[in-house]
Amino acid sequence: MRWTGSPTGRECGMHSSQWSQWELSDIDGQAREGEDDGHQRCAFDDDLADFESNMNIETLHIGMKVRHPQYGVGVVRSLTEQTAEIAFDDAPRTIAPASSDLQPAEATATLSELEMPLANLIRDTAHVVVEALGLEQKDVLVEGLATRWQRGTLVMRSADSSLQPKEVPLETFFHKIVMIRNSLRVLEQKVNASDKLSDADKFDLQQYITRCYGSLTTFNILFKNKDDQFRAGAQGSAVSRPNA
């Protein structure tokens, strides 16, 4: 209620001093109410910002480093439609990214709707450029390649002795195997996280991916760490056979 009468306040039956006291009290109350509303709006905006800043399942991929406010830094090992299996320092845990304040622990880059660690993108790009320019240094150790295969050579020799054998540096061959593995992992992630595929479709596609992994186990001998090797079972799928 605001006064619209004469300056003296007599039209509303009050002295000017009484009106001034009433008006100031009313204005002060409205100010406090507006301040409370402002605090509520700010609190809501903060909650909304926190919710929007949380990672969702689509932004994760197998091998990605993430940070959890309670468990610290971990590595994504497998993905489902809503959760991620993450290996932390103390133990593996199943985390729902959308509600756990999960954050990336490394820089990332997104290309054509595919997100991968920035370090991986730079390393793969640099390796391709160096290989294309013929600048590969023979004395450089390749990360992930078992020690006994460093600076080795893959020789493909025909039964026909008149044909020249083909030699490929094991570092180059190993890099191509790793790229195949990484692509399969990304494909598996996309299948598991897709909301357009039925459970039956996911299961069928997962079987093909699993067979690819099984066919590539021959090259596990090249890997230094067992965690990086191909496994005959699915690498991280939580897709089970749909009920008939």
pLDDT digits (tens, 9 = 90+) for 39-80: 555 554 544 444 445 677 877 888 889 999 889 999 998 888
Highest mean pLDDT: which of 28-37, 127-136, 170-179?
170-179
pLDDT top residue among 121 and 97: 97
pLDDT for the residue 47: 46
Give the mean model confidence (pLDDT) for residues 203-230: 89
**Looking at the predicted structure, is the pLDDT value of residue 190 above 50?**
yes
pLDDT for the residue 104: 86
pLDDT for the residue 26: 54
**Looking at the predicted structure, is the pLDDT value of residue 155 above 90?**
yes
**Looking at the predicted structure, is the pLDDT value of residue 97 above 60?**
yes
Q: Write down the mean pLDDT value for the chain.
A: 75
Report whether 18 contacts 26 (CB < 8 A): no
Give the mean model confidence (pLDDT) for residues 185-206: 90
pLDDT for the residue 101: 84
Q: Which range is least confidently modeled, 141-150, 166-175, 199-208?
A: 141-150
